Structure 1
Amino acid sequence: MTTAPVATAVRLARVTDAPLSIDAHIEAVRSSAAGAVATFIGQVRDHDPSVVGEVVGLEYSAHPDAERILAEVAARVAAPGTLVAISHRTGLLDVGGLALVAAVSAAHRRLAFETCEALVEGVKVEIPVWKREILRDGTYHWVGL
């Protein structure tokens, strides 16, 4: 997918089937004015407390407008003085795979932490991305439909 047009404070906002790079997100928000960079890394875990069985992978799918909406959420939550980078994966990910990476830089840590949290929470609520949770026994469960 292509990167959606974003506001100046949003340096990266994409939905992609390519592996995510933590370093690329940190580099995207690098600034001489920033004294803090807060990050969030969402990775595939081997269990789901609401399901019996071992999770062996997640398969993410996204609506065609997901990247545009991701950019809009990022622009809306980017506080003045912050730089934001966020990406969400699609496709099949094994346990340990990176599903979501976010980085926010700011002059001070509190603003970086608060903006990063708002960004991740906004993504979880608003982005039309769904996951199929695959269990070791071959069964699966849809999450977020």
Structure 2
Amino acid sequence: MTKPDHQKLIDDMVNIARQSADELADRARALAYDIASRIGDDEAENAAQRAAAEEARARADATKKQYEAGLTAMDAQLKDATSETRQQVRQIADLTRAEATRMAEQARVNAEKMAKELQASAEKARQEAAAKSRQNAGEQDQQRQG
């Protein structure tokens, strides 16, 4: 699924809000027609008011079904987008974890290599110091004998 079109989502929300307002207006009209049909004296006019109230209620019900369907579709779009985003975050996290593991292993290998090199350098320095010490001791012995 692709990213939702933000402008389309905004337009859909505006349309749903407009439809919701239309539903409320039709329900208010139906109520007004009902009240008018109950307080009027002319029976034919009262019947026309009741019929107009039924038409307004029917329009309100149809409008409500339309915007509820729009809400359901928008909810599905947002869930798909959210699900895709979560999946992408998981993929990035997995790649990051794999790269961090690789880098940690490389750092461990480099640290072991450096430790061995330091040990070898220390051993060489110790051997050179011991040889120098023996050489100095030998020179001192020669000077005493000489």
Question: When you count helix as a share of all residues, which structure comes out higher?
Answer: 2
**TM-score, length-normalised on structure 1?**
0.23
The structure with the largest alpha-carbon Rg is: 2
**TM-score, length-normalised on structure 2?**
0.23
